[in-house]
Amino acid sequence: MYRYDEYDHALVRDRIAEFRDQVTRRLSGELSEDEFKPLRLMNGLYLQLHAYMLRVAIPYGTLSSAQMRRLARIARLYDKGYAHFTTRQNVQYNWPALKDVPDILAELADVEMHAIQTSGNCIRNVTSDQFAGAAADEIADPRPYAELIRQWSMLHPEFSYLPRKFKVAVVASANDRAAVRLHDVGLILHDDAEHGRGFEVIVGGGMGRSPFVGPTIRRHLPEGQLLRYLDAILRTYNWFGRRDNKYKARIKILVHEMGAEAFARAVEAEFERLGDANRDIDRLAETEMARLQAFFAAPAFEAVAAEPAHVLRAYDQDTGFRLWMDHNVMSHRQPGYASAVISLKPHGGIPGDATAEQMEAVADLADRFDAAGEIRVTHEQNLVLPHVKKADLPVLFAALARHGLATANAGLVTDIIACPGLDYCALANARSIPLAQKIAARFDDLQRLADIGEVKIKISGCINACGHHHAGHIGILGVDKKGDEAYQLLLGGSGAEDASLAQIVGPGFSEDGIVDAVATVIDTYLSLREGGERFLDTYRRLGADPFKEALYAPA
Amino acid sequence: MHLLKLTPGRRVHDWPEIDDDTALSPQTHGLVSLDRLERDGEAVVRAFGAVGVRVAGDTEPARLAPWVDRLHLVEIAFPDFKDGRGFTLAMRLRKDLGYRGEVRAAGPLLPDQARFLARCGFDSLAVSSNREPVARAALARFEVPMQSTALDQVRADRPATALERRHDAKFAVA
Ligand code: SF4
């Protein structure tokens, strides 16, 4: 993985000194809260319902075991002994004290981490495929590109006071595991005989109040021109993006109001203006790419049996292990290796939460079993050990189980994404986490979950959509119904390569009603599915009608 | 208000401000609004030895295009420190219009923004004297930028980026 050099270290060090000074000026009253707010946000510090929340960047979701141990230490020393992994591959602490934050940042800097631009109206942490470097279907490892963008976006002098936040995601495979079409900018690496290696550039996707699947504005951008093109997109957005209404300030609204073609023309014109004078930038970016690629070289894989006999035996004999293998173990491009998804969705738990002990256990297991000693954070709020020898899977499974980390539900009904909701968030209409727990309780049978197959449930406590309900196969949205918590049900969304937005099926439900409604939707699917159809396939084949009928027909 | 110099090489000084209704009289320096410049253009240029213009941060650069060769100061007034359009306007002035004179930042900016302003082509910042030390400290921070800006190729007086120091022999530290 990437290692800081003197320049990265100096930047993070300066940033901490700067923030320490800003906190002091805030505490002395020299800075007003209005002035301090954007500054603290750009360092990942939010004010929530009960306390400050610090969001720490995990660039493109890659962590070393040492970094994970440090995150655990911070949870123990400065928080209540746990941390929360987010849908943007970041980690959050819900209870830090303002005066401690500079010290926490210093703890992070020791292990080459920071909280820079994890919030605020700036370019946020770049996200990518959690199986980067391991997936059999990738053209190249997308992380060197993501790292290039991370560095370019760090304290960008022109693009740190944008109309609104700006999120970039990069993938390098036909299977989109980073929801690139739902980002401000999505990049898909292609490699074909005609054009060579380059990016498809998607702009203006997003969820929130006005969800859009982003249009492609450039089919092929040579990889060396990436930074120059991003510069053109950001300048166009910074200049033309709306600043009169924060709900209309994201780039998706600009792209929608201008039209994708007009927006693309404006970007291309700016890109051309940047042309001649900036060839040097392209050349340097290409040289830097070569440096970055070396950091992400494949670990030393051993030549091992593709299908070890003792693993096959365990698979046949142990139902628990079999279910975990079927759902949480992903194929790897190296024979005899696999990627193991560590579920942070134990039934009854809080989606995405991990205790300090669990984080340390994962760090130890990464050292023991991962060929690179690496851990990944997924946008579905789980963890991954990317490079595990298949022969080690039974031992790994048993070790994970001892720490409550072996729930065999990756991609299944109870692998729920839920935003913080009314338990933490000042904007919430309704609770999200307890609802996720109730749904998990209703489906608390791993065999049944396996029979149902892939279903992505996503819950947001309000229209801001932090729980990505628009991208859920089943989406749930908390609404305020005359002071009561209520929920709307949406069906048919996807954040994958076949991106689509979930649609509201009909009138909303109470908290108990929505759990029944999810069960009804699943039962309806089971009665109608054909062959190996996933829930989403059945829904797309038949449309909403049979589900509406089952949900709303008079008993 | 105090004027903080953001680029080492440039001389900066106070410009007397002439409001839109005051008659023009000959003087060495004069700062007028863009409306005034557009209304009385040639007369303004004749009256002042050096002409400065004040523009809002969201001014279309095209409005400045006819004047760039005759201007000595463009003062960009940020309506709010969170409105980043002024950064882009300064960039455009320099890189698209080839403007070479002084660019000054004014308005309710934070002293913490001094470094970003400098890197976007501003030469001076109007800052209250009690905030000047913070602005000076901000200016000295983040010595090696991680990225190039769109301005870099037309500026000699800029810090070498991390990329350049890593890969370009001419920037290597001896
Ligand atoms: S979706 Fe709404 S309730 Fe949930 S975290 Fe976001 S703002 Fe808060």
Domain with B30 in it: what CATH number?
Answer: 3.20.20.70
Residues B71 and B124 grouped into a single domain = yes
Tell me how far the alpha carbon of residue A215 lies from the centroid of ligand 1, in angstroms.
Answer: 26
**Residue A418: pLDDT band with limits 50, 70, 90:** very high
Tracing tokens 């390098």 back to the chain, one arrives at: A172
> What local confidence, expressed as pLDDT, does residue A484 receive?
77
Tell me how far the alpha carbon of residue A87 lies from the centroid of ligand 1, in angstroms.
Answer: 12
Residues B37 and B88 grouped into a single domain = yes
Separation in Å, CA of A421 to nearest CA in chain B: 28
Instruction: Search chain B and give the residue with CA nearest A288.
Output: B163
Report the predicted TM-score, pTM, of the whole model to 2 decimal places: 0.95
Domain ranges of chain A: 6-110, 127-295, 309-402, 417-549
Residues of chain B with Cβ-Cβ distance to A160 below 8 Å are 84, 116
Instruction: Search chain A and give the residue with CA nearest B134.
Output: A21
- In the CATH scheme, what architecture does the domain A417-549 have? 2-Layer Sandwich (3.30)
Distances (CA, A) of A52 to A124, A134, A431: 19, 36, 19
| Alpha helices, H only, A28-64 | 33-41
Residues B98 and B150 grouped into a single domain = no
**Residue from A549, A373, A544 nearest A475 by CA:** A544
> What local confidence, expressed as pLDDT, does residue A555 receive?
65
Residues B163 and B127 grouped into a single domain = no
> What local confidence, expressed as pLDDT, does residue B172 receive?
65
Task: Provide the number of structural domains found in chain B.
Answer: 2
Mutate to test the pocket of ligand 1, among A53, A460, A487 (most ligand atoms within 8 A of CB): A460
Residues B122 and B169 grouped into a single domain = no
The CATH number corresponding to A127-295 among 3.40.50.11610, 3.30.70.1050, 3.50.50.60, 3.30.413.10 equals: 3.30.413.10
Residues B71 and B138 grouped into a single domain = yes
Question: Using the beta-carbon criterion (under 8 Å), do A155 and B146 form an inter-chain contact?
Answer: yes
Answer yes or no: are the C-beta atoms of A45 and A101 closer than 8 Å: yes
Residues B166 and B101 grouped into a single domain = no
What is the H or E stretch that residue A108 is in? helix A101-110
Answer yes or no: are the C-beta atoms of B38 and B61 closer than 8 Å: no
Residues B161 and B110 grouped into a single domain = no
Separation in Å, CA of B48 to nearest CA in chain A: 32
Domain of B150, in residue numbers: 144-174
Q: Do domains A6-110 and A309-402 have the same CATH topology?
A: yes
Answer yes or no: are the C-beta atoms of A457 and A413 closer than 8 Å: yes
Residues B97 and B139 grouped into a single domain = yes
Residues B148 and B135 grouped into a single domain = no
Tracing tokens 């002084």 back to the chain, one arrives at: B102
Tens-digit pLDDT profile for residues A180-225: 999 999 999 999 888 889 999 999 999 989 999 999 999 999 998 9
Query: What gap in Å lies between CA A412 and CA A365, rounded to an integer?
Result: 24
Tens-digit pLDDT profile for residues A157-184: 999 999 999 999 999 999 999 999 999 9
Residues B96 and B55 grouped into a single domain = yes
Given the DSSP bridges, would you call strands A196-203 and A62-64 parallel, antiparallel or unpaired?
Answer: unpaired
| ipTM attached to this prediction | 0.96
Average model confidence (pLDDT) across chain A:
95
Tens-digit pLDDT profile for residues A109-133: 999 999 999 999 999 999 999 999 9
Separation in Å, CA of A460 to nearest CA in chain B: 28
The CATH code for residues A6-110 is 3.90.480.20
> What local confidence, expressed as pLDDT, does residue A284 receive?
84
Residues B126 and B105 grouped into a single domain = yes
Question: Using the beta-carbon criterion (under 8 Å), do A151 and B146 form an inter-chain contact?
Answer: yes
Mutate to test the pocket of ligand 1, among A381, A464, A490 (most ligand atoms within 8 A of CB): A464
**Residue A277: pLDDT band with limits 50, 70, 90:** low
> What local confidence, expressed as pLDDT, does residue B2 receive?
86
**Residue B1: pLDDT band with limits 50, 70, 90:** confident
Question: Using the beta-carbon criterion (under 8 Å), do A7 and B146 form an inter-chain contact?
Answer: yes
Q: Cβ contacts of residue B94 below 8 Å, gap of 6+?
A: B103, B121, B151, B154, B155
CATH class of A309-402: alpha beta
For residue A478, which atom of ligand 1 is closest to its CA? 3
